[in-house]
Amino acid sequence: LFKPAWACPIPTHLSGLHRVSAMAMQTEAGPHRLRLWLVVSHLATRACRPEAAPPRQPFALDVPRVTQEELAVNDTLRSGLHAYVLKGHVQKHWKAANWTLDYLREKIPFEWVDFYDKNMRDQSQKPFLFKFKEALPKFQQKTGVPRYMQLRLSLRGWKRLRKDFQPLPDPQIFWSDEEWITKCMRKNEKPDVLAIDNFYTTVQWKFLLIGEKGTSMFFHQDGTASSSWQAQLLGRKKWTLCPNTETHLLDTRIDTFGKEDLTHSKFRKALCGQVTVEEGDLLYYPGYWWHHTLQLDTPSVAYTGALVGTEADRDDIGRDRRAHAAFLRDMEGKCSKCWHRGDPERKCEDISQRWPGAAPPPLRVVCDQYFPECFKLWDEHAKTLTGKARRRGEL
């Protein structure tokens, strides 16, 4: 008996033909039985042919790794409109490159920590609030589940750490708040330290992020148009980055590091990139960009700073192309939830009263007086970036 060799199990609707083929082989049908066998084989092969693999997210967006010298002559990156990794500067210049967890406990034991004891892979995970001196021993106790800590640095904490981040790579494009905040938040001709501290903690302007291998913060975009830079001080971290223009294709439920979501019907069409940030690297990305992180080592320690007034005009944020104008609108939106013009009563709850360590509401003086004054400084600085980019044809 001569039987066709099927590449896969024969579908039910072809099993009858297979029997007919077998019977034909035992007759004197001559060439007819061979013809019948070829027909059956062809039908079975078509039925068993594997489906083509669905398209996958290609991560085609390039996130270049550059030195400080290369950054100095690259106007595309200096415009603030593209993500990149700066290598070499942190290790060469910063004391923060030598940080340990014990050092941080000595410097900022009083800072509040959002402690995620079961990772932070999705938005449903809620933190416990501890002082850092209490959170660190809990973090160092191994439980089998990776933990993650976020510290919103207060003005007091920042003053204790800021020397460890000097000098910044480029004063023009890493134009930090220390260049403008004491000029526009002033009371009685002195910096308004209460207002500055409120801004830091309310807007979450300065972050320390400490995690174990396997911890991840869910895929998201920040709620304000400030751009961000993150220095990886201990360990390595993998990033997914997608521009704001891809928002219609993205969702916070997408796991950009999982195999299943790489074929997501929308995500696979988005222009995104992935990059691994090594210990001592510094990653920059523009405001409103989507990002997803995965810690590759234990411990992973990183510092995140925010920037405003450091992006050239962009086409994806509405009629007003100025990113710092979008940031001001974001702040005004947050302020409007708490303060109404002409009404002295605050309209939002101060959750820090119920949960010490939670972010307080913005102060009225910050909303009504200081933000408009700060905007003038942001606008003045941003014009220098947009002007240079236009002259060189980058915009």
pLDDT in tens, 304-342: 999 999 999 999 999 999 999 999 999 999 999 999 999
Of 47, 48, 183, 115, nearest to 357 by C-alpha is 115
Burial 175-201 (b: 16+ CB within 10 A, else e): bbbeebbeebbbeeeeebeebbbbbbb
> Would the pLDDT of 6 be above 50?
no
Tell me, what's the pLDDT at 386?
A: 64
Percent of all residues in the chain with a pLDDT value above 70, rounded to a whole number: 85
pLDDT of residue 5: 47
Instruction: Give the pLDDT confidence score for residue 180 in this predicted structure.
Output: 98
122 pLDDT tier (thresholds 50, 70, 90): confident
> Could you tell me the CATH number of the domain that includes residue 74?
2.60.120.650
Same domain, 142 and 282: yes
Tell the residue number behind the tokens 């009858």, with chain if given.
Answer: 16
- In sequence order, the β-bridge partners of residue 230 are 283, 304
Q: What is the pLDDT of residues 23-46, one digit of tens each?
A: 444 555 555 655 655 555 665 555
Mean of pLDDT values over 367-387: 92
182 phi, psi to nearest 5 deg: -80, -10
- Cα(99)–Cα(43) distance, integer angstroms: 67
- Asked if 187 and 100 sit in the same domain, the reply is yes
Q: Assign residue 155 a region (left: φ > 0; alpha: ψ between -120 and 50; beta: otherwise).
A: alpha
- Dist. CA 248–CA 243, nearest whole Å: 11
The amino acid that residue 126 corresponds to is K
Are 83 and 285 a contacting pair, CB within 8 Å? yes
Q: Are residue 38 and residue 176 in the same domain, yes or no?
A: no
Encode pLDDT of 54-104 as tens digits. 899 999 999 999 999 999 999 999 999 999 999 999 999 999 999 999 999
Domain extent, residue 17, equals 12-48
Looking at every residue in the chain, the average pLDDT score rounds to 89
- What pLDDT sits at residue 3? 47
Contacts of 340 (CB under 8 A, 6+ apart): 347
Is there a single domain that holds both residue 108 and residue 191? yes
- The predicted structure's pLDDT at residue 275: 99
The number of distinct structural domains making up the chain is 2
Residue 350 lies in a domain: yes
Q: What is the pLDDT of residue 392?
A: 47
pLDDT(203) > 80: yes
pLDDT in the model for residue 385: 78
In a domain, 56, yes or no: no
Q: Are residues 83 and 29 located together in one domain of the fold? A: no
- Do 42 and 145 sit in the same domain of this protein? no
Same domain, 136 and 261: yes
Model confidence at 17, pLDDT cuts 50, 70, 90, reads very low
Query: Which pLDDT score is estimated for 177?
Result: 97
Determine the pLDDT at residue 48.
61
Nearest to 356 by CA among 168, 111, 179, 153: 111
Asked if 20 and 102 sit in the same domain, the reply is: no
Q: pLDDT tens digits for 126-168? A: 999 999 999 999 999 989 999 999 999 999 999 999 999 999 9
Distances (CA, A) of 159 to 152, 163, 254: 13, 8, 38
* pLDDT score at 348: 96
Handedness of CA 81, 173, 373, 203 (dihedral sign): positive
Which is higher by pLDDT, 355 or 375?
375
Q: Is residue 58 part of a domain?
A: no
Asked whether residue 143 is domain-assigned, the answer is yes
What pLDDT, on the 0 to 100 scale, is given for residue 125?
87
More confident residue, 235 or 5: 235
In this structure, how many other beta carbons lie within 10 angstroms of the beta carbon of residue 282?
A: 25
The whole-model pTM stands at 0.85
- 76 with 41, same domain: the answer is no
Do 40 and 81 fall into the same domain? no
- Asked whether residue 55 is domain-assigned, the answer is no
Same domain, 32 and 92: no
What's the pLDDT at 338?
A: 98
Query: Do residues 106 and 155 share a domain?
Result: yes
- Residue 4 covered by a domain: no
